[in-house]
Structure 1
Amino acid sequence: MKNNLYLFCTSLSIFLFGGSSLISAQDQEPAPKESGVFVYQLRVGVNIGGVTPIPLPAEIRELNSFNPMLNMSIEGNVVYWLNQSPRSWGWSTGIRLENKGMKADSRVKNYSMEIIGGEGEKVAGNWTGGVSTHVANSYITIPTLVAYKMNNRWSFSGGAFWSLLIDKNFSGYVFDGYLREGDPTGVKVVFEGDKTASYDFSNDLRHFSYGIQLGANWKFSKHLNVFSDLSVGLNNVFKSDFKTISFKMRPVYLNVGAGYSF
């Protein structure tokens, strides 16, 4: 009996000591960290804006009319959140097919211009009068952004975009004014009534452009969200050797739309 009692007490001590040691070791192990997560999205939006000098030069005296046109965009992107908590930093990239266009009528004075004459010849000089401009460009754009998720609904992003021009149009006509050939004191060519002269700078557009993009995203269900992205081009839309328009023209557009997260 004494031997059996001794064996029982010894076994119980070993069990209790070993169990407490195991529990203590488990308590001391670090909790596993939350891993990051990828979110894939498909977005459809509309670009609202125009191609403009910043700031407006003295040559542009008045904007008579502006039509932003219907500029569609479709984008597939991926967002990587560093963790799955309601607040998290991350990054985002993707590919976007988009149109950026506008129609505008303005009054200008001593505006550098190159028009196409009645025989197809090009006449350069300084234009004073009305200018109608039509822009219709298509791009493949890749955004590279830093993202911040404030809560389960709101997230924000900012960074750069890189665009490749795949279809181009920058053309229009002048009306109701006069052209001074060569310089502001050159021969005066008057356009009155319905007389117009066209211009086309499409082949002078730059093929590659870049800029900054800032955006906000609001998630109203597990898969659906709405967004707005403001993009501002940093380089001139025209090639560096294009001198007809003497100031830089930059695309400034607000892209608004809806997205689906997979």
Structure 2
Amino acid sequence: MTQRNLYIAFIFTIISVYSVSAQTNRTKTLINAALHGWEYEVRAGFSIGGTSPIPLPAEIRSINSYNPSLAISLEGNMTKWIEPTKKWGIVTGIRLESRKMKTDATVKNYNMEIIASDGGRLKGNWTGKVSTNVNNSYLTLPVLAAYKINDRWHMKAGIYASYILEREFSGNVYDGYLREENPTGDKVSIEGDKSAKYDFSEELRHFQWGVQAGADWLAFKHLKVYADLTWGLNDIFKKDFTTISFAMYPIYLNIGFAYAF
């Protein structure tokens, strides 16, 4: 199933739930839930950020360009405010999100496995330019603690776990050379208008987790504006993948609107 179809299915699910709720005396149900400390929201936003080693290793000499691309998120969540003050609460839900970026960098002795023109693979140390495209979709479960500063401002922080639905980590190398197997191996030059592809998509791990923190602002009675920062804490690649010799972490800021029922 494509990313677009997943988003469409998610939207129709939310609409269906909302419609059924409306048919079963939605107003009375929501009032009763609010009296018992429950709140429900539907969120839509976009993310900007990237997947990066922290800190940048010596192999990456410079970042020549960066394009965050359009990364959309859709979420349904619920908050349980804790008695007696209802200042503190617990938030959880389901989020369908994408994490994207495109970068171009200059590297030296960068571990790489390229796909040759005949379909074969060459592994070694690359010196030159590297273009990278990351385009991943996730189903994410956040579990957050919420604090109500006042009637308009809420702060939230906690952890999240993500399962990858669609994955892509690919690109090409150009204007440089590959030393096969090690930094002193046979030299394979790729220069001029030539380039070679690489694709590590199948090496991305299925489960990722990290921390999340953010704030909500109630602009109108039911409409909120929010900003959340997510920071992955485990390497996006599988444990036995060693071509890229350093860990890479997804770090994204998500900004959007929420409708509170």
TM-score bracket, normalised by the shorter chain, equals: 0.7 to 0.9
Output one character per residue of 1:98-155: Cα deviation in whole Å (capped at 9) or x when no partner. 0001100000000000000111011000000000000100000000000000000100
Amino acid in the other structure paired with 1:240: K
Q: Output the amino acid matched with 1:39.
A: E
Equivalent-residue separation in structure 2 for 1:151 and 1:227 (angstroms): 15
Q: Which residue does the alignment assign to 1:137?
A: 136
Match of 1:20 in 2: none
Deviation at 1:82, TM superposition (A): 1.6
Distance of 1:110 and 1:45 partners within structure 2 = 39
Contact 1:213 1:231 survives alignment (8 Å): yes
Runs of 4+ in structure 1 deviating by more than 4 angstroms, as ranges, are none
CA drift of 1:83 comes to 4.2
**Counterpart of 1:26?**
none
Q: Secondary structure at the match of 1:183?
A: coil
Letter in 2 for 1:187: D
* Secondary structure of residue in 1 paired with 2:141: strand
Q: Which residue type is aligned with residue 94 of structure 1?
A: G
The aligned residue for residue 69 of structure 1 is 69
| Matched letter for residue 130 of structure 2 | V
Within 2, Cα distance between the matches of 1:44 and 1:112? Answer: 38
Partner of 1:104: 103
Per-residue deviation at 1:37?
Answer: 1.0
TM-score (norm 1): 0.85
Instruction: Give the equivalent residue in structure 2 for 1:82.
Output: 82
Between the aligned partners of 1:38 and 1:61, the Cα distance in structure 2 is: 51
Question: Secondary structure at 1:111's aligned position in 2?
Answer: strand
Rounded Cα–Cα distance in structure 1 between residues aligned with 2:76 and 2:142: 11
CA contact 1:98–1:138 (8 Å) conserved in 2: yes
Distance 1:56 1:84 in 2: 47
| Structure 1: gaps spanning 5 or more residues | 1-33
Instruction: Report if aligned partners of 1:37, 1:84 keep a CA contact under 8 Å in 2.
Output: no
Q: Structure 2, unaligned stretches of length 5 or more?
A: 1-33
Residues paired across the two proteins, number: 228
Q: CA deviation at 1:35?
A: 6.4
Aligned-residue offset at 1:84: 8.0
Identity of aligned residues (%): 55
Over residues 206-232 of structure 1, what are the superposed CA-to-partner deviations in whole Å (9 max), with x where a residue is unaligned?
Answer: 000000000111011110000000000
The alignment partner of 2:216 has SS state of strand
CA distance in 1, matches of 2:166, 2:218: 33
1:42 aligns with 2:42: yes
Distance in structure 2 (CA, Å) of the matches to 1:259 and 1:59: 42
Equivalence for 1:253: 252
CA shift, 1:36, in A, is 4.4
- Structure 2 equivalent of residue 151 of structure 1: 150
Cα distance in 2 between the residues matched to 1:84 and 1:66: 48
Any idea what SS the aligned residue of 1:203 has? helix
TM-score (norm 2): 0.85
Following the alignment from structure 2 to structure 1, what is the Cα–Cα distance between the partners of residues 159 and 36? 23
Letter paired with 2:39: V
C-alpha deviation, 1:44, in angstroms? 0.2
User: One-letter code of the match for 1:75?
Assistant: E
For 1:243, the equivalent position in structure 2 comes to 242
Q: Higher Cα Rg: structure 1 or 2?
A: 1
Which residue is 2:54 aligned to?
54
C-alpha deviation, 1:172, in angstroms: 0.2
For 1:40 and 1:46, how far apart are their aligned partners in 2? 20
- What is the distance in 2 between the residues matched to 1:151 and 1:142? 26
- Deviation string, structure 1 residues 11-61 (Cα, Å, up to 9, x no partner): xxxxxxxxxxxxxxxxxxxxxxx9641110000010100110011101001
- Work out the CA distance in 2 between the residues paired with 1:194 and 1:38: 60
Equivalent residue number for residue 179 of structure 2:
180
Partner of 1:31: none
